[in-house]
Chains A and B, each alone.
Chain A
Amino acid sequence: MLIQQVVNGLTLGAIYSLIALGYTLVYGILTMINFAHSEVLMLGAFMALGLAALLPAVFGTGLVGLVGMFVLSMAGAGLINVLIERFAYRPLRNVSRLAPLISAIGVSIILQNGVFLWISTQSLRFPEPVAIGQVEVFGATISSLQIIILGLALGLMALLHFFVEHTKLGKAMRACSDDIQTAGLMGINPNYIIALTFFVGGALGGAAGVLYGMNYGSIKYNLGFLPGAKAFTAAVLGGIGNIRGAVLGGFILGFLEVLASGYIPNGAQWRDVIAFTVLIIVLLVRPSGLLGEKIAEKV
């Protein structure tokens, strides 16, 4: 039972982590919460649904089709996030701190209602990209879906790590995150780097949306809200703005939920209460999150 629950926690945590990365990347550069991120995630899932109907003709089914659907949905979600930044956030960037926040909430409502009104008000069936089988490992039943989800999520996180730490663009991103004005003076185009950050964050959100759809088999216009809120929590728990923190926070939240509903009698209905109680306690002890650094006041 323990191994089974560990696998359950890992799958849930991997999805939370991917979403949390989108929040944390944007916050790291703009110190702004992108409340529309949960909708980017939802749109990623819907794009994958649309592509799943079109793509088999191009790529065939099976792994190639899955990767094609995945990559295109990620690119689409990334582009949407860039457009949101360009039209809803950039014009307000230097106005006040509250204006882009309200704009973000507005974008979130517009996108959600757009899908509600134009696409579907109901749960839509999400296709199974590959046949799902079960593997027995030490008495735990692991579905191939869980392995795919975990593999893809960890792969993307490794890719992000490599991008941020070992490429020139990643270096520019880190520089902007440290001090965007100075980075600008050093010849980095901040608008370009911000757009890039939104693209990367959106693509990760889109990937999470596709994984979410695959994992639960159906998608709906409001699917982004709950995981979005939880992933945001995970990002804060790990220390918002910190990439490793987002991943850590996501997995911790996933495990907390699994532990609550799996081991505490009648814990399923208390799981959110338990998870958020732990969050409050952690924040009381470490206000800037587990891996967050104390930010020195900029003078």
Chain B
Amino acid sequence: MIFRRIAAIAAVALVAACGPKEKTIKIAVAVPLTGDMGTEGQGLRRAVELAVEEANAAKRFPYKLVAAPYDDRADPKEAVNVANLIISDPSVVAVVGHYNSGCATPAAKVYARAPVAMVSPAATNPEVTAQQNSPDWSGPRVVFRVVPTDDVQGSYAATFAAKKLGKKRMALLHDKSPYGQGLAEEFKKGFLAQGGKIVSEDGVSVGDKDFKALLTKIKNDASKPEGIYFGGLYTEAGLLLKQMRELGLNDPFAFISGDGAMTFGLFDVAGDSADGAYLSIVGVPADELPSAKKFVDDYKARFPNDERKPFDHFGYEAANIILAAMERAGGPDREKIIAELKKTKHEGVLGTTQFDDKGDTTSKIVTMTRAAAKKRAFDTVR
């Protein structure tokens, strides 16, 4: 009896919920919302929300848009779960995500099955899009990204180390992840091409805390490395920096890393030890982009209590590119949106974005920054 009553109430509630309401269309935001990379994901979620709210306010579409957040916890297994959840929800028309290359690569395979478009605002490993050209890729091409890739970033950092800093011998470290190892290998390729020498190569595990023994080895290496290039994320980068300083590895011994380490979390982990670390970021920081001025102001107005993260303007751009494609497609149709995304020529906060035949942005700009711990900032190195 009770069950029947509950069922009746539920049915009434359901009818009420589905009542005369405008149609809701979702843009999925599949990023890490918890865990160490959670702050980055939360930033991206806010950026996509901002883009969606602006589109709603401007009444660009005859239906209500929402940004639907999905937490992939920066874990490849969870990313696949989340991707399956997304493709089974028919109101999701496209995905902004994922943040980590390790998550984006397997999740993309799931999206291709639907198919639904995935526009990554942050995954920089070349494989994320390149896998679509491999013979075992089934389904159409659905992956796009608005950030330049690690081959661009790694070789830029190599040229920077050799030419600008005058380094001849570097020690290579990476976190064994697709992102970290990929980046480190691109750096190695570039640095060898510049006539430099890689004196040692070591992998560390994500979650490891103690790198003292490894750093002691590098410090006492007979071939005297002049710096460390690290491919990995900010937690390990921060611990490396902290323990480097404790062992007396200070300037001019250089620490160079990539965009995965370039976030404010680095200052939480490393404290003042982060000072002087060189970190490259793909694209240009939003603060230095004249075209991003409005975004920076709007973001601050909408989220006055939150720090804007280094990838937020990419997330905002990814969402706007999807919205523009949906507009051209004439409706929330997953496949038409994919077709329109390929023809993208978007003028936005990043300047002009176009995708090449793999789905990568044709913009190849990388910026080198230097951490300043006291003011929690990354100053552009010119």
Contact = CB atoms under 8 A, between A and B. Distances in A.
Interface in A198-243: 212, 215-218, 220, 226
A19 to B, nearest CB: 13
A261 B214 contact: yes
Interface stretch (B61-69, B95-103, B267-275): B267-275
Contacts of B204: 268-269
B216 A123 contact: no
Q: What bracket does the count of chain A residues touching chain B fall in?
A: 35 or more
B246 A268 contact: no
Contact of A266 (B201, B210, B238): B201
Nearest to A225: B207
Interface stretch (A4-12, A22-30, A99-107): A4-12
A254 B349 CA distance: 51
Given A123-B265, A134-B246, A266-B203, A217 B271 contact: yes
A116 B265 CA distance: 17
A215 B35 CA distance: 21
B176 interface: yes
Interface in A166-196: none
Nearest to B243: A216
Contacts of B35: 121-122
B38 interface: yes
A262 B213 contact: yes
Given A122-B38, A266-B202, A269-B205, A4 B247 contact: yes
Contacts of A128: 271
Interface in B252-287: 265, 268-271
B242 interface: yes
B135 interface: no
**Residue picked from A5, A9, A212, A216, most chain B C-beta under 10 Å:** A216
B132 interface: no
A260 B250 CA distance: 25
B268 A218 contact: yes
A145 interface: yes
A141 interface: yes
Interface in B214-257: 214, 216-217, 219-220, 235, 238-239, 242, 246-248
B291 interface: no
Given A217-B239, A269-B203, A134 B248 contact: yes
B34 A262 contact: no
B45 to A, nearest CB: 14
A116 B33 CA distance: 13
A215 B211 CA distance: 11
- Complex A-B, nearest 8 residue pairs according to Cβ-Cβ distance, in ascending order: A269-B203, A262-B213, A1-B220, A258-B213, A121-B34, A141-B248, A8-B212, A261-B213
22 contacts: A1-B220, A4-B216, A4-B219, A4-B220, A8-B210, A8-B213, A12-B210, A121-B35, A122-B36, A124-B268, A125-B271, A216-B242, A217-B238, A217-B271, A218-B239, A218-B269, A226-B209, A259-B213, A261-B202, A268-B202, A268-B214, A269-B204
Given A123-B268, A123-B269, A134-B246, 14 more contacts: A4-B216, A8-B213, A8-B216, A122-B38, A122-B265, A125-B271, A132-B246, A217-B238, A217-B242, A218-B268, A261-B214, A262-B213, A263-B217, A268-B202
